[in-house]
Homo-oligomer: A and B are copies of this chain.
């Protein structure tokens, strides 16, 4: 392990429920606690296993909700107590990542933090680690660094990063300046981005020196920065943490780190991007999940679930079976069937993005028991 890696600390925000994967993902069984690839491990555990070789498992911090503490500890029995940051309630990604960075900076002033979602699927761990190594070097050089995924198709479900000039950083040979972040495109624009070659998928990975990250936050969201830093000051004092959380947590602004840090930083030319050549998917909805599990064969029926009992005739799409019921499909194409003990979803790949609307409707109608 080189000396830079020794300064590296991974942060895994494990917060989102993944409403677009309801009724599989839900409040008490969020997406990161599921095995969505049939690999036999949860996405959270796979994320840990991917990060541990970089700086060691003792240098991985997980930020999660109080309700998920036991589940996270069950998944990650080797995690150190001080590396579990419990959120009183969800405050979006700026708080999750910057609070971790602020706590870690107090412990190690020159720490380099890297934040990686708990619920993404990555294939090609060696390529991933090599990209992270370069990102660490670029971060040491003062850049807030992201890893952008080289597109393999004209995806419309992801945001993009427009890469600029090469930065010529030692140990980060492929680092480029981030020209800008680009919203999810329409199909035509996605095709242009793919053809252009200068656009990468925004995978939400951020690697930076903690002090650089927090400075950037201060310049854009000074109040939020100060509250986070104040909270971090009490974090490692058992007597002080509780009162500090009670007092400060309600003040924490909910804002995605894209808006509080990444975009403003890019606008100032202070962001770098390392192109990642590994396979990546945020498994944002059941259409992605179907694709991920069909091994690229269209007209295939992907089946997810340890004890799935599925009988299918002339059907394609995906069945997620979390019950022991017999599931029979006849002549349904691109179907999405998610079968759980208390809720059933039937839709199509085409409509996968609308699943969140059902969750919203269930909330409104007071049927929280199945959320």
Contact = CB atoms under 8 A, between A and B. Distances in A.
Contact of A327 (B326, B330, B344): B344
Interface in A84-118: none
A365 to B, nearest CB: 8
A328 interface: yes
A354 B328 contact: no
Contacts of A47: none
A325 B313 contact: no
Contact of A347 (B326, B330, B370): B330
A250 interface: no
Contact of A331 (B328, B344, B350): B350
Contact of A313 (B326, B342, B354): B354
Nearest to A331: B351
A194 interface: no
Interface in A341-356: 341-348, 350-351, 354-355
A332 interface: yes
A311 B341 contact: no
* Copies of the chain in the assembly: 2
Contacts of A351: 314, 330-332
B326 A362 contact: yes
A247 interface: no
Interface string A311-346: 101100000000001111111100101011111111
Nearest to A323: B344
B343 A328 contact: yes
Contacts of A297: none
B355 A330 contact: yes
A268 interface: no
Given A313-B354, A354-B330, A325 B346 contact: no
Given A331-B354, A357-B313, A337 B343 contact: no
Contacts of A327: 343-344, 346
Nearest to A22: B328
A358 to B, nearest CB: 5
21 contacts: A311-B358, A311-B365, A313-B354, A313-B357, A325-B343, A325-B344, A325-B370, A326-B344, A326-B370, A330-B345, A330-B354, A330-B358, A331-B347, A331-B351, A331-B354, A332-B346, A332-B347, A332-B351, A335-B346, A337-B346, A346-B346
Interface of A: 23, 309, 311, 313-314, 325-332, 335, 337, 339-348, 350-351, 354-355, 357-358, 361-362, 365, 367, 370
Closest 4 pairs (CB-CB, A-B): A331-B351, A330-B347, A326-B343, A330-B351
